[in-house]
Amino acid sequence: MLKRYLLAPGPTPVPSEVLLSMAAPIIHHRSPDFLPVLDSAKKGLQWLYQTKNEVLILSSTGTGGMVGSVNNFFNKGDKVLVINGGKFGERWTKICQAYGLAVEEIIVEWGYSVRPEDVEEKLKKDKGIKGVFVQASETSTGVYHDIKNLGSIVKKHGDTLFIVDAISALVAHDLKTDEWGIDIMVGGSQKGVMLPPGIAFVSVSEKAWAKAETSKMPRFYFNFRKERENLAKNQTNFTSPVTLIIGLNESLRMLQAEGLENVFRRHEMLADATRKAVRAIGLELYPKGSPSNSVTAIMTPPGIDGQAVYKNLREKYGITAAGGQDKAKGKIFRIAHLGYSDRFDVIIAIAGIEMVLKGMGYPVKLGTGVAVAQELLMV
Amino acid sequence: MLKRYLLAPGPTPVPSEVLLSMAAPIIHHRSPDFLPVLDSAKKGLQWLYQTKNEVLILSSTGTGGMVGSVNNFFNKGDKVLVINGGKFGERWTKICQAYGLAVEEIIVEWGYSVRPEDVEEKLKKDKGIKGVFVQASETSTGVYHDIKNLGSIVKKHGDTLFIVDAISALVAHDLKTDEWGIDIMVGGSQKGVMLPPGIAFVSVSEKAWAKAETSKMPRFYFNFRKERENLAKNQTNFTSPVTLIIGLNESLRMLQAEGLENVFRRHEMLADATRKAVRAIGLELYPKGSPSNSVTAIMTPPGIDGQAVYKNLREKYGITAAGGQDKAKGKIFRIAHLGYSDRFDVIIAIAGIEMVLKGMGYPVKLGTGVAVAQELLMV
């Protein structure tokens, strides 16, 4: 027997309350049954997003939300700036290029946060940049980019849109959509929102809707103006993912019961304990910049393969963490503390890492990191 | 938010696989649908009990199985010997007395295992003793009684029946029903078998069935001869708890996949790690005799109230352990490692105990016990 622990940065564990809510009979998305369900979900998302803007709900992964954030607001040949500091930064570039945008990149070394002054310099130099794309939490490197600061910089530059992939940051980080000038912010269900994969959320500012008026990109599925029209009637453009939206209401209810500030504090506490515990056993964090509160990327010590750490955690101890991606593959492994995550998830992660590393010959004194985490997690 | 961990000696956690199996539509207990379900369950229980005897399935708690073990095999005034070393030993006495049996007790000091020679002496002195009642694991004290040895002693004394309450021991301890001469053995669903509360199991030897022929006690609900007749037809005497029996098949499937020896080894490993970890933080075990592999009873240090430890574990950390009962109340708290329990349940328990005790002013160095458990639980 091997009990399983899901400590990956998505999908994340789904609470029983949410799973049970989703076991209710299917309702029809064009029937009156569904209207209050979507109404409640859209209001809840506005609360979570800290926005007065509409938050669209799409039947897709987070990447679908990213695609829609490109092809609804720009035109072929538009110049945009992508902050590319990891696998998901790169994805912004690929999507923008797939739609024929002229992409300028700020290449950020993996593990670092973008320097806001670099963005400011680019925008000052080139007034033609129509959008700035960034991740809040870059899942591949465990790095947080300074969204507040970046938002205030973009805001100063006329009608340039500020587009944030918050897929893995939402819930774990305080992201003040309206106050910080985030025009478009993408979220996904299988991360902090504690749902199965399958829906994406996108908030859109008035400034962005104005740009949407002039965008002539080919689109059919991710047609945000149609989604907006439908949302006003508590509908979605195509078949609504009714079960996931019912589950979303339950997870929003849980988050509201906890309180947004407490939710952020919990994630910060868990992330902080994870980072300090990991350092206490002599490991280095991969992020040199600001670390994400969603996921901790840990450098494997010399001579130890990060993929083997991942494999041992999973096969010997039942812990599904994440390895490294692309250029970080083998060099790091990643532990999430995102969504339905509490004190003992950190304890399990640290205890498991210690046991795996010791088993691989790394000189760790068992309990060292756990003790640090315990200290920080005491009530 | 507070994630919940159920580490009490029953009810114990139910695996998702079992919960999901029980979510299937209700079938009718007198329809052909049910026959293979009960057939499979009764064979699985024989495997688990290591017996060729029938294992009856009763719609009741374990106590119902205990009552039936008294009122189906004896007559008013029969002399029986009860080994009373805790709250559940006392329950045997109370049940026997309720049915007018002449109870002799061996009072075993709480925390100790019975000395088999004391039982042998009693049986030698009094040939009229018709049954010997004992617990395998005495849940209230965390003590294991030496069933193998006791069985061989009772076997030597003619037609005296050997009746074992294995409610909290089944699955955690190797109990060889036939080989060890256990005539009647009671189990319950909400312990090692990883089911919700609601069904009891009772194995009955041919020797016991022979005694049942002459038993004239009043009985209607726990009528074992009727249950036996029904079981032969894959039925139960009254309405069958169909959902729990469906779940039982799934939990038996899981236990069979693991293998009986591995199941016992896992429980021994978890119990051993718990005991050694607890001692490493300077705490004493309550059992002076042989400890149970189902539950560890821990003495609270001087000046610290066991009930407060229980309360803090639960309210601050979401861990439901157990306090002490009756004369052990306040002096001990108990942590189970029974049924659906794995390495990190022990880690959670020990980490939580350390944090609670430190929070209550007990001088524990965090991580001390956890490290001992980690060492013993490494793969």
pLDDT in tens, B35-87: 999 999 999 999 999 999 999 999 999 999 999 999 999 999 999 999 999 99
Question: A3 and B355 in contact by Cβ < 8 A?
Answer: no
Best probe of the A interface among B256, B266, B366, by most A CBs < 10 A, is B366
- What percent of chain B shows pLDDT beyond 70? 100
Report how far residue A98's alpha carbon sits from residue A15's, in angstroms, rounded to the nearest whole number. 37
State the pLDDT at residue A213. Answer: 96
Q: Do A347 and B351 count as a contact with CB atoms less than 8 A apart?
A: yes
ipTM of the complex: 0.93
At A9 the pLDDT is 96
How far apart CA A246 and CA A272 sit, in angstroms, is 32
CB pairs under 8 A between A and B: 104
What's the pLDDT score for residue B14?
Answer: 98
Q: Do A340 and B368 touch (CB under 8 A)?
A: no
Residues 3-22 of A with CB under 8 A from B: 3, 5
> Mutate which of B261, B315, B347 to test chain A, going by most A C-beta atoms within 10 A?
B347
Chain B residues in contact with A193 by the CB 8 A cut-off are none
The DSSP code sequence of B304-323 is --HHHHHHHHHHHH-EE-B-
φ and ψ at A168, to 5 degrees?
-95, 0
List, for residues B280-330, the tens digit of each pLDDT value. 999 999 999 899 999 999 999 999 999 999 999 999 999 999 999 999 999
Neighbour count for residue B94 (Cβ, 10 Å): 14
CB within 8 Å: B317 and A344: yes
Three-state SS at A322: strand
Sort out which chain A residues have CB atoms less than 8 A from B23's CB and list them: 23
Spans in chain A with pLDDT lower than 70:
none
Q: Measured between alpha carbons, how far is A295 from A334 in angstroms, rounded to an integer?
A: 7
- Indicate yes or no: CB of A344 within 8 angstroms of CB of B352: yes
User: Tell me: the pLDDT tens digits for A224-248?
Assistant: 999 999 999 999 999 999 999 999 9
B265 near A CB under 8 A: no
Q: Which residues 23-42 of chain B have a CB within 8 Å of chain A?
A: 23
CB contact (8 A) between residue A3 and residue B318: no
| B-proximal residues of A, 313-332, CB under 8 Å | 316-318
CB contact under 8 A, B318 and A342: yes
What integer pLDDT is reported at residue B289 of this predicted model? 86
- Which residue numbers in chain B have pLDDT < 50? none
Contact yes or no for A1 and B254 at CB 8 A? yes
Q: How far is A216 from chain B (nearest CA, A)?
A: 46
Which residue reads 């040199």 in tokens?
Answer: A288
CATH numeric code, A16-257: 3.40.640.10
B285, two tokens: 């075990």
Given this structure, which CATH class describes domain A5-10+259-377? alpha beta
List every span in chain A annotated with CATH 3.90.1150.10. 5-10+259-377
Q: What is the pLDDT of residue A242?
A: 97
* Contact across the interface for B1 and A344, Cβ inside 8 Å: no
pLDDT computed for residue A275 by the predictor: 98
- Are A343 and B254 in contact (CB < 8 Å)? no
Tokens of residue B98, six digits: 């309720």
Q: Around Cβ A128, how many Cβ atoms within 10 Å?
A: 12
Q: Per the CB < 8 Å rule, is B358 touching A378?
A: yes
**Phi and psi angles of residue B79, each rounded to the nearest 5 degrees, phi first:** -90, 130
Q: How far is B325 from B304, CA to CA, in rounded Å?
A: 16
Closest residue of B to A364, CA-based?
B371
CB neighbours of residue A81 within 10 Å:
23
Chain A residue nearest residue B375, CA to CA: A366
